[in-house]
Amino acid sequence: MMTDDNHLDSERELIRDTVRRFAEREIAPQSETLWEDQAFPYEIWKMAGELGFTGLPYPKEYGGGDGDWVSFTIVLEELARVDCAVANSLMANSTVASLLSNYGTDAQKQQYLAPILDGRKVGAIGLSEPDAGSDAANISTRARREGNEWVIDGAKTFISNSGTEVTGPVVIAAVTGARDNGRKEISNFIVPNGTPGFEYGRKLRKIGWRASSTFELVFRNCRIPADNLLGEQGAGLRQTLAQISTGRILIGALALGLLQGSLDRSLSYMKTRRAFGRPIADFQSLQFKVADMAVHAHAARLMLYDAAARRDQGRPFAQQASMAKLFATEKAMEATHQAIQIHGGYGIITEYPVARAFGDAKVLEIVEGTSEIQRMIISRELLSQMDT
Ligand SMILES: Cc1cc2nc3c(=O)[nH]c(=O)nc-3n(C[C@H](O)[C@H](O)[C@H](O)COP(=O)(O)OP(=O)(O)OC[C@H]3O[C@@H](n4cnc5c(N)ncnc54)[C@H](O)[C@@H]3O)c2cc1C
């Protein structure tokens, strides 16, 4: 497999090899069943935690690995190459871990961060609502202060990692007031699983990320201690948006895994499948499809590692993350489509990983800012540079 050697020292090579072995040995044999059953993979999650994958870029003090973001990008890429839904469990967990790690008190980190870094629990982030996704500043879940408690009312939807036996905590955004400019004041709260007044609504049945557990959340007069406010009151949206560029790198890594998986599976199928008395690898029309996949995977890898390296170095990376996410996800959509074409009728049958990858690629064009939102961000930045 082609990799980008510039970013791969021996430690990262070792991480890549370890994750690849784990994904192929532990996840691949179960992947079809997990997809069929839409079942969260508890055992895999636990093992990923024990191997240090889930907490890799987080502080050792709380059970993380003190690793860098290029390495975590590699972890997600390798997992998604085999099963994108499993990789998403790490991705969503990571957003919660970043929020707790950056804004939590020491007590909050001991109680809520440590268990989601080592695989005992899995974190969920609840920002999206039935009437507010891209327009996240327009959420309507409310939290009001009553004595020593916050009381939450509202609903969330599409929440990854929710509704499993090991979910906890769920970090949600809620409106806590109005600003002078008329905008909503939004704060983040830590809601432990099982808090009275917090219930799961429907389990959402999906065409992609099927083994990633996705539920609606309902809050009715849900009371949590005042201490469960995360960071400052009113800083919620700022906190979440500050993590979103990192999230875009990670979704891009999932897309890269799909791209590479599509390429690897297409190449081996082309060598073995025969038509008109020869391997289908002899047909130039199919050769061109794998050539395009390889070009796109290489370019996506360079873009993603560059964005992650900038993040590691403390340099600005938001624009690079948006570009990498947009490119990688759209090329993954193309690659999964073409991989099915190369597999002919077998590509439609869900026992084939290329069939299952198709829905996963579509999800990636929507989450962590849709392709339209990425284009908006990228063009806005370009135009603002013209003004300076
Ligand atoms: C499987 C899955 C898992 C998810 N997991 C989570 C999670 O864990 N936590 C969480 O909080 N959310 C999660 N989400 C929600 C996800 O972040 C939203 O679906 C996404 O932000 C898009 O919002 P929306 O679905 O409301 O679409 P909308 O915002 O309603 O968009 C609909 C369409 O309008 C376009 N559009 C919107 N605004 C503009 C604009 N200004 N200019 C041009 N076009 C525009 C969009 O690009 C899209 O094509 C998940 C979603 C899915 C599908």
Give pLDDT tens digits for 27-74: 999 999 999 999 999 999 999 999 999 999 999 999 999 999 999 999
What is the Å distance from ligand 1's center to 138 Cα? 13
Domain 238-381: CATH superfamily is Butyryl-CoA Dehydrogenase, subunit A, domain 3 (1.20.140.10)
Look at the block and give the residue holding tokens 């939590």: 104
**pLDDT > 80? residue 2:** no
- Ligand 1 pocket by C-beta < 6 Å: which residues? 92, 125-128, 133-135, 158-160, 206, 209, 214, 363, 366-367, 370, 372-373, 376
Question: How many alpha carbons fall within 13 Å on the CB side of residue 299?
Answer: 16
**Which residue in the block uniquely carries the two structure tokens 């050792």?**
60
Q: Which of 77, 78, 365, 368 is the catalytic position?
A: 368
pLDDT digits (tens, 9 = 90+) for 311-331: 999 999 999 999 999 999 999
**Which of 180, 174, 133, 115 minimizes the C-alpha distance to 150?**
174
Q: What percent of the chain has pLDDT over 70?
A: 98
Superfamily designation of domain 124-235: Butyryl-CoA Dehydrogenase, subunit A, domain 2 (2.40.110.10)
User: Which residue, among 332, 330, 327, 322, has the nearest Cα to 373 in the 3D structure?
Assistant: 322
Give the global pTM.
0.97
Mean pLDDT of 287-300: 98
* 300-310: pLDDT as tens digits: 999 999 999 99
Residue 211 backbone phi and psi in degrees, to 5: -85, 5
CATH of domain 5-121: 1.10.540.10
Question: Ligand 1 centroid vs 5 CA: distance in angstroms?
Answer: 35
Active site residue 368: yes
Q: pLDDT tens for residues 143-191? A: 999 999 999 999 999 999 999 999 999 999 999 999 999 999 999 999 9
Give the pLDDT confidence of 249-262 residue by residue, as tens digits: 999 999 999 999 99
Q: Is the pLDDT of residue 3 over 60?
A: no
> Which has the closest alpha carbon to 102: 64, 72, 148, 133?
64
160: CA distance to ligand 1 center in Å?
Answer: 13
Q: Ligand 1, from 367, 376, 379: best to mutate by most atoms within 8 Å of Cβ? A: 367
Query: What sign has the CA pseudo-torsion 330, 333, 337, 338?
Result: positive
**Listed residue (212, 99, 236) closest to 159, CA to CA:** 212
pLDDT, mean of residues 352-381: 98
**Residue closest by Cα to atom 17 of ligand 1:** 367
Instruction: List the domain boundaries for the chain.
Output: 5-121, 124-235, 238-381
Pocket test for ligand 1, best of 35, 128, 200 (most atoms within 8 A of CB): 128
Span from the CA of 319 to the centroid of ligand 1 (angstroms): 19
Helices 318-343 + 371-387 axis angle, to 10:
150
Q: What is the C-alpha to C-alpha distance for residues 53 and 367, in angstroms, rounded to an integer?
A: 22
**How many residues are listed for the chain in this entry?**
388
